[in-house]
């Protein structure tokens, strides 16, 4: 049974699959004409994540996190950003900053898991400045 979305491979990375599905739906008229309503939908889904989290229902939390990720991919698509590449870049940036923290903590003869969160946050902010150009 062939549908508009059936040709999208199910074994793709989730972000890639999500974008391809949304592209196909958009090509058939199911899309917002501009960024603003997509941005509003992200905020709406974020509120729903908070409500689910406050309910304590793990299944509901997972569902709402999934919805948030889906609309974030749609926002990226509307802003001509490849969500897979954007996430890879942000993950590399996170890794560099965390490794900076590890190095600073090790220089003081300690381990990260023995530090207070406030100190780690301070080092994170230091890393953001120190690694700004990298």
**Residue 68, domain CATH:** 1.10.287.1080
pLDDT at position 134 is 58
SS3 13: coil
Q: How confident is the model at residue 1 (pLDDT cuts 50, 70, 90)?
A: confident
Both 45 and 21 in one domain: the answer is yes
Q: Which domain holds residue 67?
A: 9-81
What is the C-alpha to C-alpha distance for residues 29 and 33, in angstroms, rounded to an integer? 10
Kindly report, residue by residue over 77-129, the tens digit of the pLDDT. 999 999 999 999 999 999 999 999 999 999 999 999 999 999 999 999 999 99
pLDDT at position 53 is 98
Kindly report, residue by residue over 28-52, the tens digit of the pLDDT. 999 999 999 999 999 999 999 999 9
Instruction: Produce one character per residue of 74-108: b if its CB has 16 or more CB atoms within 10 Å, e if not.
Output: bbbbbeeeebbeebeeeeeeeeebeebbeebbeee
Provide the number of structural domains found in the chain: 2
Kindly report, residue by residue over 84-98, the tens digit of the pLDDT. 999 999 999 999 999
State the pTM of this model.
0.88
Residue found under tokens 């304590």: 56
């Amino acid at each position: 049974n062939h549908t508009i979305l059936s040709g999208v491979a199910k074994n793709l990375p989730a972000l890639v699959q999500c974008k391809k599905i949304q592209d196909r739906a958009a090509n058939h008229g199911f899309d917002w004409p501009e960024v603003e309503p997509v941005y509003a939908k992200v905020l709406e889904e974020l509120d729903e994540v908070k409500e689910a989290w406050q309910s304590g229902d793990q299944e509901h939390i997972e569902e709402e996190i999934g919805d948030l990720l889906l609309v974030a991919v749609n926002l990226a698509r509307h802003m001509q950003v490849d969500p897979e590449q954007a996430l890879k870049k942000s993950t590399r940036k996170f890794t560099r900053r965390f490794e900076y923290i590890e190095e600073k903590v090790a220089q003081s003869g300690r381990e990260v898991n023995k530090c207070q969160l406030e100190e780690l946050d301070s080092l994170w902010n230091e890393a953001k400045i120190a690694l700004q150009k990298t």
